[in-house]
Amino acid sequence: MDVQTTRLPGVLVVKPRRFTDERGYVAEVYTERVFRRAGIMASFVQDNQSFSLHSGTIRGLHFQTPPAAQAKLVRVIRGCVYDVVVDLRLGSPTFGQWTAKHLSAQDGEQLYVPPGFAHGFCTLEPATEVTYKVDSYYVPACQSGIVWNDATLNIPWPVAADAAILSNRDRALGTFAALASPFQYRHVAHA
């Protein structure tokens, strides 16, 4: 596995090696010791999967607040997404900044999102399926988010606002400026 950093400290791109032959391929998509060596200490407790029928579907920007804050390991198993992560950690040198990555079933890359970040994606192909591991159980009272097209964040989503497909809940999410972030930045020096 190849693990790469992003411009947001703690957010990592994980690229599993694929072993191919005339039948297709096999890949290890999660190996605890490799993740631990890369600094990913999450102990995943739940796997989630989403299916989006149409391209231009937006899911996010979501996060869970403490005490149920979640780390996520995101992977596309069919189709392609524009995946976005926003730093919500007060005191972080990248607070309020975001990074984006195209994830596809074809390339097999995964995105590790630590607690303290909002996460969302836009589907780029119809019939897209996304799976993600989380290290804390879903707690409805702790679910939160930021509206996808927040003016302060100014994320260049690959879909026009009038063409985006969203849930009513995601349309009603608050703004980044109104967020009272429950997350604090803690610098961790790696050996």
Assign residue 172 a region (left: φ > 0; alpha: ψ between -120 and 50; beta: otherwise).
alpha
Catalytic residue among 62, 82, 112, 119: 62
Q: What's the N-to-C CA distance of the chain in angstroms?
A: 20
Catalytic site includes residue 132: yes
Of 60, 59, 99, 108, the C-alpha closest to 80 is 108
- Report how far residue 2's alpha carbon sits from residue 88's, in angstroms, rounded to the nearest whole number: 26
Task: Assess whether 82 carries a catalytic annotation.
Answer: no
Encoded tokens for 190 = 């790696």
How many angstroms separate the CA atoms of 1 and 77, rounded?
A: 17
Choice among 54, 132, 137, 187 that is catalytic: 132
Catalytic sites, residue numbers: 62, 132
